[in-house]
Amino acid sequence: MTGLLARPAGDLGSVAGVTSDREPTPQGAEDPDDAEIGRRFAAGEEQALALAYERWAGQVHGMAVRAFGPGPDAEDVTQQTFISAWTGRARYRPDQGPLPAWLSGVCRHKIADTWAKRDRMRREAEAAATQAQAAPAGGTTPAVDTAIADRLLVLEELDRLGQPQRGIIELAFFADLTHAQISERTGIPLGTVKSHIRRTLERLRTRLEVDGAALPA
Amino acid sequence: MPHCQPEQLALAALGEPLPADAAAHLVSCGDCRSEVRSLQRAVDAVDVPEFAASVAPVAPPASVWAGIAAATGVSPAPRSEASVVTAPPPPVAVAPAAPVPDDPPQDPPAGGQVLPFRSRRPRVLMTAAAALVGAVVGAGAVAVLNGSDDAQPLTSVALDQLAEAPASGRAEVVVRGDGSRALEVELDAPALDGEYYEIWLIEPNVVEMVPLGVVRPGAQSFELPTGLDLGQYPIVDVSVEPLDGDPTHSGVSVARGVLES
């Protein structure tokens, strides 16, 4: 299982307490470690934004390019991710997890926002086209709308989770680890991992039931 | 047979295999299956390959950082784009065939930084053009130094609209009769209330900048400081400044161009 747990340097998925496996580098003003960059970022030190970009822009842009292909959309997502992360840095808590994991969370929001925007434009175009013709009976909602709305709600709710719950569920969701692998990776006991997963999924279910669209029966 | 444990149903919702007895029960129990389905909605919502944590890094084009710097007003820049990632850049960053100056510059633009162009021209072409700015501006700076006595434009640039603000215009560097240089600006932008436009000359890596003054919609002239190297500050930038007494750039740029000869 260690193969699955080995992480490439700069891997974005992580949990509080799990530090990067990157080779130890001499620390100093020129080359601070990841945690140091995170602390300075949270403190609003401008140099930390440049350092964070230097170290993690490739990962963030990799996500954006995977979602939209190379080009203006991906570039906007990457740009917006760093701008939002910087202006919203008060919400980043260095003691709650590494900065690259938080940045990838912001990036997922930007990707989901872009999807939602495209979906809205598509539906507006369709509505306009439908209005031009006779309105068909029955306002069926396409399933894709629910999926897009659910996605935004889940991402939003993940932001509200504390640690270690957030890190655990993100490893399950985005790193595709089993609960046993998560326990091994984080050092959190197996039973605790399982109960956190259960409670988090219940919490997400509640959020979707309260704020999400009703699912077709 | 007892129902599955709540934790097991959560794991099943995540797609984890259950122990044999629990799995056998799940197959036959409608209540447990319905519980799994209800927990699965959140799992499914974010179960898209685009969200996966492991991804091959891709170097963003330099314009991405320039946009971040402009929007945040942060001055320090990443040491170099080359150090961002080791992966090859996306195709968009590959400059298409573009006119190559006869005399290539000895030094590329500082840090390889270019600006977040939002121009009418396709972005790819702008990236290529921006990469050539170092060379072209070098020539422009020489032309300024050799300027004649008449007020004649040495270099001019379109100020392209940035973001949503409908601001654009032109800027020209002229040498006046007395040998002084001026930036003639024609700004086409809506009047502001409680804010004002300011015009700046900025370095290619958007770190150092020279404020030239308050600019109104219409035509105006700004004297350039003697000895100012336009090759070092080729970006003409129009910002919107709040009336807050803070002399630094607000970070809100509405129009921008890069001086060429």
Q: How far is CA A192 from CA A157, A189, B59, B129, in A?
A: 21, 5, 39, 56
- B68 vs A72, A74, A83: nearest CB: A83
* Counted domains in chain B: 2
Do B24 and B92 lie in one domain? The reply is: no
Question: How far apart, in whole angstroms, are the C-alpha atoms of residue A74 and residue A63?
Answer: 8
Q: Is residue B105 part of a domain?
A: yes
A13: nearest CA partner in chain B: B53
Q: What percent of chain A has pLDDT over 90?
A: 61
Do B121 and B204 lie in one domain? The reply is: yes
pLDDT in the model for residue B164? 67
| Residue B67 buriedness (CB in 10 A; 0-12 / 13-18 / 19+) | buried
Do B109 and B188 lie in one domain? The reply is: yes
pLDDT at A21 over 90: no
Is the Cβ of B85 closer than 8 Å to some Cβ of chain A? Answer: yes
Do B30 and B74 lie in one domain? The reply is: no
Do B39 and B76 lie in one domain? The reply is: no
* pLDDT level of residue B152 (50, 70, 90 thresholds): low
Do B137 and B18 lie in one domain? The reply is: no
Q: Is residue B202 part of a domain?
A: yes
Q: Which residues on B lie below 8 Å from A83 (Cβ)?
A: 67-68, 71-72
Work out the minimum CA distance from B32 to partner chain A, whole angstroms.
14
B6: nearest CA partner in chain A: A198
Do B34 and B151 lie in one domain? The reply is: no
Do B92 and B205 lie in one domain? The reply is: yes
ipTM (interface pTM): 0.78
Q: Is residue B42 part of a domain?
A: yes
Partner-chain contact B67 A175, CB within 8 Å: no
Do B12 and B119 lie in one domain? The reply is: no
pTM score = 0.56
Partner-chain contact A70 B92, CB within 8 Å: yes
pLDDT at B236 over 70: yes
Residue A62 near residue B87, CB atoms below 8 Å: yes
Q: Return the DSSP state at B227.
A: T
Is the Cβ of A160 closer than 8 Å to some Cβ of chain B? Answer: no
Partner-chain contact B123 A72, CB within 8 Å: yes
Put simply, the chain A residues between 23 and 62 with a CB less than 8 A from any chain B CB are: 46-47, 49-51, 53-55, 57-62
State which fold the A142-217 domain adopts.
Arc Repressor Mutant, subunit A (1.10.10)
A120-174 residue pLDDT tens: 888 888 877 777 665 454 454 454 578 889 999 999 999 999 889 999 999 999 9
What domain range includes position B16? 6-51
Do B77 and B203 lie in one domain? The reply is: yes
DSSP conformation letters of A82-106: HHHHHHTGGG--GGGS-HHHHHHHH
Q: Is residue B1 part of a domain?
A: no
Do B99 and B185 lie in one domain? The reply is: yes
Do B15 and B142 lie in one domain? The reply is: no
- Hey, what CATH class is A25-134 in? mainly alpha
A65-102 residue pLDDT tens: 999 999 999 999 999 999 999 999 998 989 888 999 99
